[in-house]
């Protein structure tokens, strides 16, 4: 009887060990399977990201080629035609004792067109883009807006923007879109753009005294979606603070990377 009990215990022990081994094998198999599955998902995402980067790079290269060709065409051909036309108008003015106001206005208008064309040609040039300055171009944009005398925009710079030229172009487009959205939808009389730097962040605050909007009216329009996406590309964040009848403030926060000690 005792021997039978011992044999039964041995069988139970062996069975238990086998069950534990089988369970351990199954757990190890499941863990290994999940690990391989996660590695596959990570590798797939990595390939998708790399593919998107390659597409984006190809598009950028094509845009650079197109912009370069367009810049040359504007400067060499259209610019020369306008310059020649202005020269002929100038000769006509000098040959007339009392040139009419329309002729003087036409001459001045062509001069302004030449200036605008040169600025556009310059903005399409690859070398200019590689040396892009956010603050300088923002000041130019503000001067252009103030010249219209419908909105008065004030720029308050502070510190040096810790971004590469490509990143500064992205930030400029974000701020430019914020300004245009405010003018189009808020109808402000005054705007204020503050550039601030602290230990951890570089912030851009774009405030206006327009009509504002409520949180229910904010929505997720394409303009705001693009601005959020571009800010995320820079590793930053963007918020809108608005009070109906009192105006809106757009707050952009960018982390300062590799800040010098």
Q: Express each pLDDT in 221-237 by its tens digit.
A: 557 888 888 888 888 99
Q: Express each pLDDT in 172-193 by its tens digit.
A: 889 989 998 898 888 899 999 9
- Asked whether the predicted pLDDT for residue 258 surpasses 60, the reply is no
Better pLDDT: 217 or 10: 10
What is the three-class DSSP state of 144? helix
Torsion of CA 27, 32, 35, 40, to 10 degrees: -140
Let me know if domain 132-255 sits in CATH 3.30.565.10. yes
Does the CA dihedral 47-48-50-51 come out positive or negative? positive
Share of residues in the chain with pLDDT > 90 (%): 13
Q: Which residues of 150-189 are buried (b: 16+ CB within 10 A; e: fewer)?
A: ebebeeeeeeebbbeeebbbbbbebbebbbebbbebbebe
* Domain limits, the chain: 1-130, 132-255
**Assigned token pair, 89:** 């108008």
Task: In whole angstroms, give the CA distance from residue 138 to residue 140.
Answer: 5
Q: What is the pLDDT of residue 36?
A: 85
- Residue partners of 115: CB distance under 8 A and separation at least 6: none
Q: Express each pLDDT in 56-84 by its tens digit.
A: 665 666 566 566 667 666 667 777 777 88
Which residue's entry shows tokens 């959020």? 228
Share of residues in the chain with pLDDT > 70 (%): 77
Q: Supply angle C-alpha 21, 27, 29, rounded to 5.
A: 100
Q: What is the pLDDT of residue 260?
A: 41
Tally the C-alpha atoms within 13 A of residue 55's C-alpha that lie toward its C-beta.
6
**Beta carbons of 245 and 212 less than 8 angstroms apart:** yes
- Residue partners of 249: CB distance under 8 A and separation at least 6: 205, 206, 207, 208, 240, 241, 242
Task: In whole angstroms, give the CA distance from residue 82 to residue 1.
Answer: 117
**Assigned token pair, 83:** 């310059």
Query: pTM of the predicted model, to two decimals?
Result: 0.56
* Residue 109 dihedral angles phi and psi, to the nearest 5°: -65, -45
Mean pLDDT, rounded, of the chain: 79
Q: Express each pLDDT in 191-225 by its tens digit.
A: 999 998 887 888 999 999 998 887 665 555 557 88
Nearest one of 153, 163, 218 to 188, comparing CA atoms: 153
- Asked whether the predicted pLDDT for residue 15 surpasses 80, the reply is no
Q: Supply angle C-alpha 248, 254, 255, rounded to 5.
A: 145
Cα 169 to Cα 4, 128, 238, distances in angstroms: 86, 11, 17
Q: What is the pLDDT of residue 58?
A: 58
């Amino acid at each position: 009887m005792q021997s039978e009990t011992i044999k039964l215990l041995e069988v139970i022990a062996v069975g238990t060990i086998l069950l534990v081994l089988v369970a351990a094998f199954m757990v190890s198999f499941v863990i290994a399977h999940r690990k391989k599955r996660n590695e596959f998902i990570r590798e797939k995402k990595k390939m998708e990201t790399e593919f998107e980067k390659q597409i984006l790079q190809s598009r950028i290269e094509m845009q650079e080629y197109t912009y370069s060709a367009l810049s040359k065409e504007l400067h060499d051909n259209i610019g020369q035609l306008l310059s020649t036309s202005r020269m002929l108008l100038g000769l006509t003015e000098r040959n007339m004792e009392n040139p009419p106001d329309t002729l003087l206005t036409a001459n001045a208008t062509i001069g302004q067109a030449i200036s605008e064309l040169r600025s556009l040609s310059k903005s399409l040039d690859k070398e200019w883009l590689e040396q892009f300055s956010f603050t300088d171009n923002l000041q130019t944009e503000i001067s252009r807006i103030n010249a219209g005398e419908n909105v008065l925009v004030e720029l308050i710079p502070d510190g040096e923007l810790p971004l590469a030229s490509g990143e500064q172009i992205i930030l400029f487009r974000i701020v430019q879109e914020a300004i245009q959205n405010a003018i189009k939808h808020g109808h402000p009389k005054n705007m204020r753009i503050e550039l601030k730097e602290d230990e951890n962040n570089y912030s851009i605050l774009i405030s206006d005294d327009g009509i504002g909007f409520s949180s229910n009216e904010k929505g997720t329009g394409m303009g705001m979606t693009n601005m959020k996406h571009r800010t995320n590309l820079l590793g930053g964040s963007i918020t809108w603070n608005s009070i109906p009848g009192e105006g809106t403030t757009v707050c952009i926060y960018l982390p300062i990377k590799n800040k010098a000690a």
